[in-house]
Amino acid sequence: QKLAGVRRARPAGIDDMSNCFKGEFKAANTSLLGKNDYKKLRDKLLEEFPVLTKKSLKRVFSDKEETHVLKCSNGTMLYVAGEKPPSFFDDGFGNLYPTLFTLWKIPNMMEELITHGPVSKFLLPRDRSAGADMMLPGVIVPEGGLGTVHVGQKRCMRVEGNDMPFAVGKMLVSDADITAKGMKGKGMAVLHVYNDSLWAYGGRRVPNDGFGADEIKPATTDERPSGQAEPIDLEEAEAEEEEEDE
């Protein structure tokens, strides 16, 4: 069993810049994640996503539950805790990403890009289309800018007016590229997106009423669908963790 961080070859013909889950996949092999490997994986996640705390991570990926590692036919690996949907995935090149199911519980755990609702329809898989990567002209630049940007940086994508991310990927440009060329061309390679096969595998969950089959729109209510937990307050989780450490 290989943990995330160890580079493995994905099947020939699969582009590492494309959606890992644009087609159907099968769990080719399943194994249990041992305690030591869980700790290594946890430490890697806490290092890569500094806003996470051990407390908040346990709520989506606990060492109290059996964690299965699913090696998939598309070259990816899924980390599944107990009966929950997959929490994280390895893209087949040793890079760890949260699934949308995790981001809907911890929306602020990674840097984001924001776009307009109508743009989202181009990223969502439909019919025989796998969905497009995110083009820079469709990105809304906030007053404070996009922050530090570098090639390979992990980010999620959400629609303005909806706090729940609908895509996960990695940046294809850097600060220098944007300064030199402006907001032109591809900005983010989409690796996992609402409506793809990983979303279907995890139970086809819907985080709020803004998520439609063909487009993500601003949410009209804060109410979440029945049976879905509220997002984790990271500041509250961190405060609880500090109290336990005292």
Q: Do 98 and 106 touch, CB atoms closer than 8 A?
A: yes
Enter the pTM of the model. Answer: 0.85
Residues 36-62: what's their mean pLDDT? 93
Q: All domains of the chain, ordered by start, with CATH?
A: 27-217 (3.10.400.20)
Whether 102 shows a pLDDT value over 70: the answer reads yes
Encode pLDDT of 40-52 as tens digits.
999 999 999 999 9
Q: By the 8 A CB rule, do 169 and 151 touch?
A: no
User: What confidence category does residue 220 fall into, taking pLDDT thresholds of 50, 70 and 90?
Assistant: confident
Q: Is the pLDDT of residue 231 over 70?
A: no
For 136-157, the pLDDT digits (tens) are 999 999 998 999 999 999 999 9
Cα Dmax for the chain: 55
Residue 239 has pLDDT above 70, yes or no: no
| 120: confidence class by pLDDT, cuts 50, 70, 90 | very high
Residue pair 159/166 in contact by the 8 Å Cβ criterion:
yes
- Segments of 8-162 assigned E as strands: 27-32, 67-72, 77-81, 88-90, 96-98, 111-115, 134-135, 139-140, 154-159
Q: Enumerate the H helices of the chain as residue ranges.
A: 35-48, 54-58, 100-103, 117-123, 175-181, 197-201, 234-245
- Asked whether the beta carbons of 170 and 98 are under 8 A apart, the reply is no
Task: Tell me if 152 sits within 8 A of 202, measured CB to CB.
Answer: no
